[in-house]
Amino acid sequence: MTTLTDPSLFQTSSFINNEWVDHQDDQLEVINPSTNQIIAKVSDSTRSDAEDAVNAAQKAFKYWSGFTAKERASVLQKWFQLILENTEDLAKIMTLEQGKPISEARNEIIYGASFIEFYAEECKRVLGNIIPTVDKSRRLFTYKQAIGVVGCITPWNFPNAMITRKAAPALAAGCTVVIKPDPKTPLSALALCELAKRAGLPSGVLNVVAGTDSQGIGEVLTQHPSIAKFTFTGSTATGKILMAQCAKSIKKVSLELGGNAPFIVFNDANIDEAVEHCIATKFRNCGQTCVCTNRIYVQNDVIDNFVSKLKTGISKLKVADGFDEEATIGPMIDRKAVEKMDSFMLDAKSNGAAVLLGGKRHALGGFFYEPTLLINTSKNMRILNEEIFGPIAAVESFSSEEEVIAEANSTNYGLAAYFFTRDIGRVMRLSESLEYGIVCSNSGVFSTEVAPFGGWKQSGIGSEGGKEGIQDFYETKFHSMGGINT
C-alpha cells in the first residue's frame, strides 16, 4: 500500500461531534478498484449514528451561526491552507479508493479546496436589502440568516470536491452539516474531517457518517425534523426518491443529477482543438462524471477527418493503475460499472454499430475497460439515450444547425453541452437554444469555483459554485420595523 507523509489522515471511523465514532463489529470494506483488494475497513455507521450527528449539528448551529462571517471565514481559510499543504496525501488516498489517475486526483484536491477559499471570501458579501418604505412610520429591510442543519449525500466520482462544493458554502453561511459520503469512497471525506478539526472547526459543525445503510442514513438526512436543507449529487433516479422523502417536511432541496451531454462539432471548427477537448471531456475520470461528453455530433462534411483524429487521440490514452504517473485512464469504480459497459456494447453491436477502437474489458483485468470508439450508431441505441458514465465514445453525423439543436435537446437531461464553431452568430444562437444549465463553446473546460454549476430539466435543482451556490444556505428575513416616529 502507498505510504502517506501524514498517516493520521487515513481515518476509518465516522466523524461525529468532533469525535471518531467506531463500531468494531460492523465494518465496511473499501476496495481499491485498480486491484480489487481491500484497502481499509471503515466503521459501518448506522441510522442511529446519523441521528446523533444531526443532533450534534443542531446543537452546534446556534454557536456557529453566531460567529461573524469574518470569524467563520478565518477558520475556513485555515482548513483551505491545510488541504493545500496535504495535497499529495489527500490525492493518494483518493486514487487508492477511487482509482482515478494521481494527476487527476491532485487536480481534484486543488479544485475542491478552491470552494473553501471562495466561500470564505463570499460569505462576507452576502447582503440584504433596504426597501423604500410605503409608510413613514415604518422601515422595511431584508437580511439573510443561515438556514440551519444541512444534510448532504455525496458521490464516489469526486470524493473530495463534491463534499467541499456543498460543505464550504453551507459552513460559510453559518450552517452546520452532516454528510453521508458514498460507502465506496469514505476515506477522502474522513481525511477532510481530520483537517477541519485541526483548522479549529468547532464540535458538531461538520459531521461525516460513513455507512452502507443508504436507506436508513438517507431517511435521517431527508426526514429528520432538525434538517433544514438537503443537498444531493448522484443519479436522477435516486434524486427523485430523496426529493419525495424531503417533501414530507418541505425541506429546501438542491440536486445535482445525471447528464447526457452533447458535444457538437460544426464544419468551420478547429478540428484539432475539438478532438483534444472531446477526448478530455469524454474520458475524464474514465468517463465517470455527470458532465462527461455523452453524445458526439459532427457535421457530415468533416466527420471523416474528425473520427480519424479522434481515433488517433484515443489510442494514445494510457490505461493503467492510477499511481502510474503516466496513466490517463484508471479503472472503473466497480464490477457493476464494467457490466454496464458490456451491456451498452452488446446493444450497440447488435443494432449495427461499428467498433473502431476498444469495445471490451481491458487486458489489465479487474475493473479496467478499454477506451472505446463507435460509429454507425443509431437513435434507438441505449448509448445515445442513457447516461453512459464510462469510457465509450459514439460519433453521430448531422447536416444542419436546426437539426443538431433539436437532437441535442431531445433528452430529459440538461446539465452540460459543448459545441465547436468559429461562427460568432452561431455561438450565440446555440448558447441561447441549448436547454442546458452549462454551455461551453470552443472548449471542454469550465469547472470552477467562481461560476454556477447546475442542471436544467431532470439534471437537477439549484446551482453549486459561484455567488449562486451560497444562496440556498440562507433564509431571507423581511423585517417591517414600526414605531419610527414614536
Instruction: Kindly state whether residue 463 participates in binding ligand SIN, applying the rule CB under 6 A.
Output: no
Of 46 and 294, the one with the shorter C-beta distance to ligand SIN is: 294
Of 158 and 266, the one with the shorter C-beta distance to ligand SIN is: 158
Instruction: Kindly state whether residue 164 participates in binding ligand SIN, applying the rule CB under 6 A.
Output: no
Residue nearest to ligand SIN as judged by C-beta position = 447
End-to-end CA distance of the chain: 74
Applying CB under 6 A, the span of 94-102, 123-131, 289-297, 405-413 interacting with ligand SIN comes to 289-297
Of 11 and 447, the one with the shorter C-beta distance to ligand SIN is: 447
Of 161 and 310, the one with the shorter C-beta distance to ligand SIN is: 161
Whether 401 is catalytic: no
Instruction: Kindly state whether residue 158 participates in binding ligand SIN, applying the rule CB under 6 A.
Output: yes
Q: Which of 104, 122, 256, 396 is catalytic?
A: 256
Instruction: Kindly state whether residue 274 participates in binding ligand SIN, applying the rule CB under 6 A.
Output: no
Q: Which residues pair with 453 in a beta bridge?
A: 464
Instruction: Kindly state whether residue 377 participates in binding ligand SIN, applying the rule CB under 6 A.
Output: no
Minimum gap (Å) between residue 294 Cβ and ligand SIN:
12
Residue whose grid cell is 484536491: 109
Of the candidate residues 31, 191, 291, 298, the single one contacting ligand SIN (CB under 6 A): 291
Of the candidate residues 21, 150, 290, 374, the single one contacting ligand SIN (CB under 6 A): 290
Of the candidate residues 238, 289, 299, 459, the single one contacting ligand SIN (CB under 6 A): 289
Of 84 and 451, the one with the shorter C-beta distance to ligand SIN is: 451
Minimum gap (Å) between residue 291 Cβ and ligand SIN:
5
Instruction: Kindly state whether residue 436 participates in binding ligand SIN, applying the rule CB under 6 A.
Output: no
Of 233 and 293, the one with the shorter C-beta distance to ligand SIN is: 233
Q: Map the footprint of ligand SIN across residues 5-24, applying CB under 6 A.
A: none
Of the candidate residues 188, 441, 447, 463, the single one contacting ligand SIN (CB under 6 A): 447
Of 46 and 289, the one with the shorter C-beta distance to ligand SIN is: 289
Applying CB under 6 A, the span of 67-75, 271-279, 283-291, 419-427 interacting with ligand SIN comes to 283-291
Whether 256 is catalytic: yes
Binding mask 227-266 for ligand SIN (x = CB under 6 A): ------x---------------------------------
Single out the residue of 378, 377, 321, 367 nearest to residue 342, CA to CA: 367
Instruction: Count the alpha carbons within 13 Å of 140 in the hemisphere toward its beta carbon.
Output: 6
Single out the residue of 149, 147, 145 nearest to residue 226, CA to CA: 149
Q: Which of 123, 290, 292, 440 is catalytic?
A: 290
Minimum gap (Å) between residue 444 Cβ and ligand SIN:
11
- Active centre residues (catalytic): 256, 290
Q: Binding residues for ligand SIN, per CB under 6 A?
A: 158, 233, 289-291, 447, 453
